[in-house]
Structure 1
Amino acid sequence: MTSMQAIPPIERLKGRENYSTWRFAMTVFLEHEDLWKCIEGTEVDERKLTRAKAKLILCIDPINYSHIQNAGTVKEVWDKLQASFEDSGLTRKVSLLRTMATTRLEKCNSVEDYVNKIITTAHKLSGLGYPVSDEWVGTLLLAGLPEEYRPMIMGIENSGMTITADAIKTKILQDVKDARTGKNSDHQTAFFAKRNKKAINSRL
């Protein structure tokens, strides 16, 4: 039981591709365990320092041990991992922005996968000191939907609904997921079709 409790339920650090999410999860976990001062370098309790280092290393994929084998303290382990995998340069930011702008629902495995990809990418950008506004995240979630969901977007616009990541995420997970699984009611479909026709006629 003791050995199992030593390993938090966090995905092991594989490399640059999951470093930002791993770092966030480890930060929360170490704070919860009252071990964050070990990372800051201000802890003097040797037992806590040993525990923190053990927990940290157990959450790293063995393929990455080469980066930390010469680290003497838990703070050195943390700093070496950050130096190896944190990419805060312009190229990384451009890559993440491109991912957000080009992610499309039809290219994702599921509605949940689509939503998580955009929101996770936004969090990664924030972690690099390049925050994306909540409204932009919500707008990008709508921008990646197929053309068939234009009536839904028009309905959101006409309703005066505030565009936020959470609001649009909820809307997509409810309406879009239902539509893709054939659960949309005939009433809702007719409503969107009628609204779309009205909008088109008003522009003619």
Structure 2
Amino acid sequence: VLFCKMSNSAVNQVEKLIGRENYGTWKVQMRAALRIEKLWTNVVEITTPKDGESEVKVDTEKNEMALSRITLCVDKMIYSHISHLNSAKQAWDSLAKVFDDSGLLRRVMLIQDLGSCRLTEFDSPTAYCDKLITTAQKLNELGFIV
């Protein structure tokens, strides 16, 4: 497991995004790291302008910091999805579009994983429970409450 390496940063604890297989975990960790650094609300959660405003004001420095943090926390094979983008919001949305698999097939596969998971397939009861909990969390993220 590769982790982001940056001095004095919450991002140090974020597992690098390698693809669809760890996108859910990466998304939660990255969002938390950006929140700790006060970058999430101002940059990633950009919405439509408030009444009376012509456009949403973005703090350029915070945007650059957030975009850099996101870029440093993805595997180099993923750079092509975000290297041409100019905002953290664009990068976040691009990664979600590519790796966030929330379709019916994904739900069915996770339900099958949950139903076919057997204690005898694991080295320890802890590993078995971890698998069950992780799969249940993935289903919960897709709106299928377990």
What TM-score results when the alignment is normalised by the length of structure 2?
Answer: 0.83
Equivalent position amino acid for 1:101 in 2: G
Helix, strand or coil: the match of 1:75?
A: helix
Indicate the larger mover: 3-12 or 43-52.
Answer: 3-12
Deviating 4+ runs (over 3 angstroms): none
Q: Equivalent residue for 2:53?
A: none
Cα distance in structure 2, aligned partners of 1:22 and 1:110: 25
Higher helix share: 1
Indicate the larger mover: 75-84 or 33-42.
Answer: 33-42
Helix, strand or coil: the match of 1:70?
A: coil
Q: Equivalent residue for 1:13?
A: 17
- Please state if 1:4 is matched with 2:24: no
> 1:3–1:96: structure 2 CA closer, same or farther, 3 Å change rule?
closer
For these two proteins, the number of residue pairs brought into alignment is 131
Unpaired runs of at least 5, structure 2: 47-55
- Greater Rg, structure 1 or structure 2? 1
Cα distance in structure 1, aligned partners of 2:34 and 2:76: 20
Equivalent position amino acid for 1:27 in 2: R
Deviations 1:8-58 (A, max 9, x none): 211100100010111011111111211112111266221111111111111
Identity %: 40
Deviations 1:135-185 (A, max 9, x none): xxxxxxxxxxxxxxxxxxxxxxxxxxxxxxxxxxxxxxxxxxxxxxxxxxx
Cα distance in structure 2, aligned partners of 1:8 and 1:52: 14
Q: Equivalent residue for 1:24?
A: 28
Distance apart, 1:110 and its partner CA = 2.2
Specify which of 98, 113, 118 is matched with residue 84 of structure 1. 98
* 1:180-195 → structure 2 map (5 Å cutoff): none
Cα distance in structure 1, aligned partners of 2:131 and 2:13: 21
Specify which of 107, 118, 122 is matched with residue 121 of structure 2. 107
Equivalent position amino acid for 1:5 in 2: N
Cα distance in structure 1, aligned partners of 2:16 and 2:99: 13
What TM-score results when the alignment is normalised by the length of structure 1?
Answer: 0.60
